[in-house]
């Protein structure tokens, strides 16, 4: 137990007990503590702040309370204002700070730096939108969270309300090595945080203290000389602009950095990417359950909880057609390989086929429970459907007749998909994926393997373009990669904090894209199973994803937040 002369005010006793001094400075002390009024005891962080500015601090406190509604920063649990100090009680983030991580593992990879930039910039976009400047970004104040491995910005003791920029009595308590020049003069601006983030990144890449990375004789940074592994030109340019001491040459906002990173969502929500004004989010009147993209026609098909199927122009985001016919929520959608037929599955237990004029051709009846997935065979002649009746059914697209039923799953079938050579994979709530081998014709299928490694329902599955790798996603929050020929699992991808809802490989097979109920889309490098970046912007579960062009520069995602987002990105990091 921590033993010191620090006495908690009556307001915080006997609820909280101090255990360890985490850090201290001229004006702050930070302690690890527990709330003993709860059982089991709840860990927390208590910050004692000396000599606050009462008027500004009251405003800051209100902002911190507002930010506590977000999962991006530690929640403010409690506080107490005394005569000469203030106590703030924050949620404790389980994990390891970047300074400790660096000491244990050595310099961080470029992929990790991209992830840190993405996660922290997303947080700063939210913080800055509330007119708050963090003022103390450094490795010790960024936590790699246990489990999800995302990066969390902590310690808002030094933060300043933007409206109080130039008040002479502002006390700046940030760490000198990471402090922007204007911040050292007690004149913080939003880009001061960007400067500190950039300096943090070059330290993580070099493991050399920032003061030693600056060439004072020539008044310029010399951090590249200390790189142990070369980095991409793009990352180098971004870091150079982040750490420019000239305010006029530095990024002035989070949005500017995100734009240069080449990742943007066409929306202006508080926690999303900013993008050029001519790009738009597609707004719907109901939850969007699935999307499919027709590359030949440059259109998007979406299915909705209000029973509608909508057709949109991918370039203009204009609604072209609304298809009516299902009498319950529509759950799935797929275009045929020749783009002549659209298939939709529904909670009404039916599948409908629509022609290129969006007129209904057939209603396929046979499932005894809701239909959750539809997929076309590569030859376009057969449609597979997966249902909560535990079966996979195959249908002749020309006649609309059922031609085969595949059974074996013990619980609901959540998704079906074909490989390029016509083999079939089915995912189920029974925690397994079944692989079905295509026989002499597209109507003949036999069970070739059962993949079982997930600990909860399997909710997503995708083949790589060459059919050699299978990706599976689950309610256990993980993604697994499998060798299709051997049935061996060779990688587990962790990073999402909630169920995986959809997976798709890039056309060249180098990237895997995942969607989750945690409201994010993630990109993964298949070769090393590392996360490339996270696309944040949806305000509810992401339900489905699709690739909108062959070089994977555009990704389409659907969500329960009633939007379809079109992400334009540069993946040449």
Rank 20-34, 277-291, 449-463 by mean pLDDT and report only the highest. 449-463
Average pLDDT rounded to a whole number, residues 263-279 = 34
3-state SS, 446-510, equals EEEEEECCCCCCEEEEEECCCCCEEEEEECCCCEEEEECCCCEEEEEECCCCCCEEEEEECCCCC
445's tokens:
């299928």
Interaxial angle between packed helices 190-206 and 98-105, expressed in degrees from 0 to 180 and rounded to the nearest 10: 10
User: Which residues, in sequence order, are CB contacts of 83 under 8 Å at separation 6+?
Assistant: none
Contact predicate 213/202, CB 8 Å: yes
Residue 148 has pLDDT above 60, yes or no: yes
Q: How far apart are the first and last CA of the chain?
A: 47
Average pLDDT rounded to a whole number, residues 194-214 = 97
pLDDT at 1 (0 to 100): 41
Positive or negative: CA dihedral 407, 410, 416, 421? negative
260's tokens:
């240069």
- Of residues 85 and 268, more confidence is placed in 85
Residue 167 has pLDDT above 50, yes or no: no
Average pLDDT rounded to a whole number, residues 66-70 = 82
Provide the pLDDT confidence category of residue 357 given band limits of 50, 70 and 90.
very high
Chain segment 82-118, per-residue pLDDT in tens: 767 888 899 888 899 999 999 999 999 988 999 899 8
Residue 4 has pLDDT above 50, yes or no: no
Encode burial over 174-201: b for 16+ CB neighbours within 10 A, e otherwise.
Answer: bbebbbbebbeeebbbbbbbbbbbbbbb
Rank 21-25, 174-178, 209-213 by mean pLDDT and report only the highest. 209-213
Pick from 58, 63, 95: nearest CA to 76: 63
Strand order of the sheet with strand 309-313? 288-294, 299-304, 309-313, 319-323
- Of residues 243 and 296, more confidence is placed in 243
Helices (H), 190-232: 190-206, 210-213
Average pLDDT rounded to a whole number, residues 371-387 = 96
Provide the pLDDT confidence category of residue 11 given band limits of 50, 70 and 90.
low
pLDDT at 272 (0 to 100): 33
Q: Which domains does the chain have, with CATH numbers?
A: 10-91 (3.30.200.20), 102-261 (1.10.510.10), 282-569 (2.130.10.10)
337's tokens:
């390989």
SS3 200: helix
**For the chain, percent of residues with pLDDT exceeding 70:** 89
Residue 279 has pLDDT above 90, yes or no: no
Helices (H), 95-186: 98-105, 110-129, 181-184
Q: Which of 277-286, 408-417, 470-479, 514-523 has the lowest mean pLDDT?
A: 277-286
Provide the pLDDT confidence category of residue 528 given band limits of 50, 70 and 90.
confident
User: Which residues, in sequence order, are CB contacts of 58 under 8 Å at separation 6+?
Assistant: none
Question: How many helices (H) does the chain have, and how many strands (E)?
Answer: 8, 41
Contact predicate 329/305, CB 8 Å: yes
User: What whole-number distance in Å separates Cα of residue 40 and Cα of residue 14?
Assistant: 16
Cα dihedral 119, 125, 130, 133, rounded to 10, equals 80
Count other Cβ atoms within 10 Å, centred on residue 54. Answer: 8
SS3 341: coil
Average pLDDT rounded to a whole number, residues 527-551 = 86
User: What whole-number distance in Å separates Cα of residue 463 and Cα of residue 473?
Assistant: 12
Query: What are the E-state strand segments in 318-443?
Result: 319-323, 330-335, 342-346, 350-354, 360-365, 371-376, 382-387, 392-396, 401-406, 413-418, 424-428, 433-438
- Of residues 60 and 194, more confidence is placed in 194
Provide the pLDDT confidence category of residue 345 given band limits of 50, 70 and 90.
very high
pLDDT at 266 (0 to 100): 33
pLDDT at 117 (0 to 100): 94
- Of residues 206 and 157, more confidence is placed in 206
User: What whole-number distance in Å separates Cα of residue 164 and Cα of residue 181?
Assistant: 18
Contact predicate 526/516, CB 8 Å: no
pLDDT at 8 (0 to 100): 56
pLDDT at 161 (0 to 100): 79
pLDDT at 136 (0 to 100): 92
Length of the chain: 573
- Which residue bears the tokens 């939210």? 126
φ/ψ of residue 313, rounded to 5? -80, 120
pLDDT at 268 (0 to 100): 29
User: Which residues, in sequence order, are CB contacts of 285 under 8 Å at separation 6+?
Assistant: 304, 306, 562
Distances (CA, A) of 551 to 165, 369, 392, 540: 45, 38, 32, 28
User: What whole-number distance in Å separates Cα of residue 375 and Cα of residue 415?
Assistant: 9
Contact predicate 566/312, CB 8 Å: no
User: What whole-number distance in Å separates Cα of residue 331 and Cα of residue 373?
Assistant: 7
Q: Residue 487: left if φ>0, alpha if ψ -120 to 50, beta else—which one?
A: left
pLDDT at 56 (0 to 100): 65
User: What whole-number distance in Å separates Cα of residue 191 and Cα of residue 137?
Assistant: 12
Contact predicate 151/120, CB 8 Å: yes
Chain segment 208-258, per-residue pLDDT in tens: 999 999 998 888 999 999 998 888 888 999 999 999 999 999 998 998 888
pLDDT at 79 (0 to 100): 83
8-state DSSP, 276: -
Provide the pLDDT confidence category of residue 14 given band limits of 50, 70 and 90.
low
- Of residues 548 and 370, more confidence is placed in 370
Largest interatomic CA distance in the chain: 84
338's tokens:
């020749």
SS3 254: helix
> What is the rounded average pLDDT for all residues in the chain?
87
φ/ψ of residue 528, rounded to 5? -120, 5
φ/ψ of residue 215, rounded to 5? -90, 95
Residue 383 has pLDDT above 70, yes or no: yes
> At 302, which helix (H) or strand (E)?
strand 299-304
**For the chain, percent of residues with pLDDT exceeding 90:** 57
Provide the pLDDT confidence category of residue 7 given band limits of 50, 70 and 90.
low
């Amino acid at each position: 137990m921590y033993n010191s002369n620090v006495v908690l005010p009556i307001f915080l006793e006997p609820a909280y007990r101090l255990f360890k001094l985490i850090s201290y400075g001229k004006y702050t002390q930070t302690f690890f503590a527990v709330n003993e009024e709860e059982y089991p005891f709840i860990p927390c962080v208590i910050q004692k702040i000396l000599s606050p500015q009462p008027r500004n601090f009251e405003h800051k406190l209100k902002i911190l309370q507002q930010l506590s509604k977000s999962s991006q920063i530690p929640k403010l649990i409690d506080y107490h204002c005394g005569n000469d100090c203030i106590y703030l009680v924050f949620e404790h983030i389980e994990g390891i700070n970047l300074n400790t991580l660096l000491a244990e593992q050595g310099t961080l990879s470029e992929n990790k730096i991209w992830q840190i930039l993405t996660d922290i910039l997303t947080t700063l976009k939210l913080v800055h939108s509330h007119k708050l400047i963090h003022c103390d970004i450094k490795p010790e104040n960024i936590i790699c969270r246990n489990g999800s491995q995302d990066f969390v910005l902590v310690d808002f003791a030094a933060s300043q309300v933007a409206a109080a920029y130039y008040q002479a009595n502002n006390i700046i308590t940030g760490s000198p090595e990471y402090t922007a020049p204007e911040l050292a003069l007690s004149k913080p601006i939003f880009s001061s945080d960007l400067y500190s983030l950039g300096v943090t990144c070059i330290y993580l890449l070099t493991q050399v203290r920032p003061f030693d990375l600056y060439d004072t004789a020539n008044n310029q940074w010399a951090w590249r000389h200390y790189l142990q592994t070369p980095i991409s030109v793009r990352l180098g340019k971004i870091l150079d602009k982040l750490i420019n001491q000239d305010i006029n040459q530095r990024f002035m906002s989070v949005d500017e950095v995100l734009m240069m990173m080449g990742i943007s969502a066409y929306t202006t929500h508080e926690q999303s990417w900013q993008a050029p004004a001519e790009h738009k989010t597609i707004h719907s009147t109901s939850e969007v359950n699935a999307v499919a993209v027709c590359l030949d026609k440059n259109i998007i098909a979406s299915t909705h909880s209000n029973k509608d199927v909508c057709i949109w122009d991918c370039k203009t985001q204009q609604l072209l057609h609304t298809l009516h016919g299902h009498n319950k929520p529509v759950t799935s959608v797929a275009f045929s390989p020749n783009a002549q037929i659209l298939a939709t599955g529904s909670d009404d237990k039916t599948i409908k086929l629509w022609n290129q004029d969006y007129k209904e051709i057939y209603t396929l009846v046979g499932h005894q429970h809701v239909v959750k997935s539809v997929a076309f065979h590569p030859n376009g002649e057969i449609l597979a459907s997966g249902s909560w009746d535990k079966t996979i059914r195959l249908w002749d697209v020309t006649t609309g007749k059922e031609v085969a039923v595949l059974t074996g799953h013990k619980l609901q079938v959540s998704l079906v998909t074909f490989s390029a050579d016509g083999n079939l994979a089915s995912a189920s709530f029974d925690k397994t994926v079944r692989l079905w081998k295509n026989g002499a014709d597209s109507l003949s299928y036999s069970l070739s393997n059962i993949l079982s490694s997930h600990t909860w329902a399997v909710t997503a599955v995708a083949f790589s373009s060459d059919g050699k790798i299978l990706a599976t996603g689950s309610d256990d929050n993980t993604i697994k990669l499998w060798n299709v020929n051997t049935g061996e699992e060779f990688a587990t991808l962790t990073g999402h904090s909630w169920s995986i809802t959809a997976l798709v490989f890039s056309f060249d097979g180098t990237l895997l894209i995942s969607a989750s109920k945690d409201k994010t889309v993630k990109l993964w490098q298949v070769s090393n199973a590392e996360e490339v970046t996270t696309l944040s912007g949806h305000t509810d579960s992401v339900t489905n994803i699709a690739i909108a062009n062959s070089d994977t520069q555009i990704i389409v995602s659907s969500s329960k937040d009633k939007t379809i987002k079109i992400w334009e990105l540069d993946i040449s990091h």
